[in-house]
């Protein structure tokens, strides 16, 4: 395990990332919204789920393999889309994609990636999905998804739970915003983390200049320290099911809606021809009074699980959490913060280490449960 021998859990990786990253960036990754009630509730709800062990079963040849959207992969994991991973580690999106490729799982590229999908595809060899925030200018949005498809993205993941910007007061206190705004507090914070400053920010400045959102149109792409030149690529607050219909007509790959929490919306997704949904409350980063995915998942699976691929995310910290989501009916599980903590402490190797921890823990959990396959995992 090399330099990661002391990282034995996701919490260990989290603590190491906290030491390495400026506070403004770490808290942007780690924390939730408003009073952060939901971020604690996600954890409590997962912890409350008990799984039923079966004994005296030969688990020598147990398998974590999952089939998602017609492709078999070694585990049910997908690395979730996360904004500005390129600020966590130099070329952080490429590092995450390399870790995904090594694990044989997909990596979902964010609209707000610092690295363009073309570079990620060329330098990682990973299976790529692409996450979409709809812009005010729909034609530019369609041009973006055409670009993602041409770069090899297998699936388009439309985030549907971010109609407006969330309230995260700690970002304002820490001096973190997009565009970045210079402040004394943020300057001191960065100065106190020289390894990050040298290895991430200075390397970026020397190689490609001030970081920018790589998927924005060239004429509107500005350094993240400057205000956007146009509202055309602002996030649209008027996204409706008509946009889903438009995307379904345009996109040739799999179409997934991320952020579904009700049976009604899951059934609408099915009616609009999508291939899958992600039952998620955005890691408790958006709506602090939203239900947790564990609350919504069973009813959604009962309603549409035989006709749609149902994935889940939010709050995964151990392999047992993956098993819990599987027991509730999810076919796959997205992870976001965990792999960001890994990439923060060691790039692709750090992210791979975190994935290996989750795989080892899931395998051990299955062994203890007497589960030879994911389908054998049952609720108590």
State the catalytic residue, choosing from 90, 282, 353, 359.
282
Q: Compute the radius of gyration of the chain from its Cα atoms.
A: 20
**What's the CA gap between 344 and 176, in Å, rounded?**
18
Half-sphere exposure of 367 (CA within 13 A, CB side): 8
Is residue 80 within 8 A of residue 336, CB to CB? The reply is: yes
Residue 282 designated active-site: yes
Is residue 45 within 8 A of residue 54, CB to CB? The reply is: no
DSSP string, 242-272: HHHHHHHHH--SEEEEEEE-SHHHHHHHHHT
Half-sphere exposure of 311 (CA within 13 A, CB side): 27
**What's the CA gap between 306 and 303, in Å, rounded?**
8
Residue 204: how many CB atoms within 10 A of its CB?
18
Which sequence positions are flagged as catalytic? 282
């Amino acid at each position: 395990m090399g330099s990661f021998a002391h990282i034995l859990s996701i919490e260990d990786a989290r603590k190491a990332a906290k030491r390495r990253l400026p506070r403004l960036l770490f808290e942007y990754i780690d924390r939730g919204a408003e009073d952060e009630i939901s971020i604690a509730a996600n954890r409590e709800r997962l912890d409350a789920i008990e799984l039923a062990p079966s004994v005296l079963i030969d688990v020598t040849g147990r398998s974590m393999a999952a089939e998602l959207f017609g492709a078999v992969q070694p585990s049910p994991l997908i690395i979730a889309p996360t904004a500005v991973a390129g600020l966590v580690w130099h070329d952080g999106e490429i590092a995450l994609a390399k870790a995904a490729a090594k694990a044989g799982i997909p990596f979902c590229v964010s609209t707000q990636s610092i690295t363009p999908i073309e570079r990620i595809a060329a330098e990682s060899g990973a299976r790529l999905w692409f996450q979409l925030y709809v812009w005010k200018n729909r034609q530019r949005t369609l041009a973006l998804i055409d670009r993602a498809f041409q770069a090899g993205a297998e699936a388009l993941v439309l985030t549907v739970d971010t109609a407006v910007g969330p309230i995260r007061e700690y970002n304002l206190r820490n001096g973190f915003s997009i565009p970045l705004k210079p402040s004394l507090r943020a300057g001191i914070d960065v100065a106190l983390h020289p390894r990050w400053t040298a290895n991430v920010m200075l390397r970026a400045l020397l190689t490609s200049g001030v970081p920018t959102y790589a998927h924005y149109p060239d004429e509107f792409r500005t350094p993240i320290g400057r205000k956007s030149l146009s509202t055309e690529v602002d996030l649209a607050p008027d996204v409706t099911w008509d946009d889903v219909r438009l995307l379904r007509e345009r996109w040739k790959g799999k179409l997934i809606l991320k952020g579904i929490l009700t049976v009604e919306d899951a059934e609408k997704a099915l009616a609009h021809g999508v291939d899958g949904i992600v039952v998620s409350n955005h890691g408790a980063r958006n709506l602090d009074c939203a239900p947790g995915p564990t609350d919504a998942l069973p009813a959604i699976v009962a309603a549409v699980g035989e006709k749609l691929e149902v994935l889940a995310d939010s709050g995964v910290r151990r392999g047992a959490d993956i098993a819990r989501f599987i027991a509730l009916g999810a076919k796959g599980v997205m992870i976001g913060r965990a792999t960001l903590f890994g990439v923060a402490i060691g790039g692709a190797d750090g992210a791979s280490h975190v994935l290996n921890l989750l795989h080892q823990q899931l395998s051990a959990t299955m062994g203890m449960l007497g589960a030879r396959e994911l389908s054998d995992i049952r609720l108590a």
